[in-house]
Amino acid sequence: MRNDRLSIPLLALQTCGEFICSKAMWYVNKLFEQAQVESLSAKGFLVRSSGGVVRIEKHDCGAELRKSPSGRYQMTIIPSIMVAGQFTRLWDAGYQKFLLTHEGRKFPIRVSQLADLRRFNEELRTALGVPTYYNEALGSTCHYSVYDRVKGRRGDVPDESVGAHEEADH
């Protein structure tokens, strides 16, 4: 059963019941010129464009930009770790970090994946001229966080809070 809370836009800070959808400080309303986007390939990024949607990948991570009516590009998917070619969301369950797919599958995250995400984020910011502030430079920002796991309260089973499930073949 799919949890409707997974459909919440990840680009706005919102309280979502017992967990928080945190906004990565990426200035998602900032518009990028076409020349900036086109320069990414020369800076080592894999850039694919189709129908006004640009997918940027490097270090097994990716982000997405969409062309606005003004002809400039706006970020629609913030830097994320890619699993099987799909964007994931980072979830801090309080005791461990996981990657969540859009189907609700969860995978424990590896330290190397977090390092790759941080490196991708920093390189993309530099390439697009987006500043990094102190709180962003401290580490990764999760799409979801679940810390209140007091037995009997909503959120006491973190997987249910975000609609996650494990693969059956583990």
How is the chain split into domains, by residue range? 4-162
pLDDT digits (tens, 9 = 90+) for 65-103: 999 999 999 999 989 999 999 999 988 877 788 899 888
Report the b/e string of 88-112 with b at 16+ CB within 10 A: bbbbbbeeebbbbbeeeebbebeee
CA distance 135 to 146: 20
More confident residue, 97 or 9: 97
pLDDT digits (tens, 9 = 90+) for 47-67: 999 999 999 999 999 999 999
Q: What is the mean pLDDT of residues 18-37?
A: 65
pLDDT digits (tens, 9 = 90+) for 144-165: 555 555 666 665 565 665 556 5
Q: What is the pTM of this model?
A: 0.69
Asked if 97 and 91 count as a contact pair (C-beta separation under 8 A), the reply is: yes
* SS3 of residue 145 by DSSP: strand
* CA dihedral over 83, 115, 155, 14, signed as positive or negative: negative
pLDDT digits (tens, 9 = 90+) for 108-155: 999 999 999 989 999 999 999 888 776 666 555 565 555 555 666 665
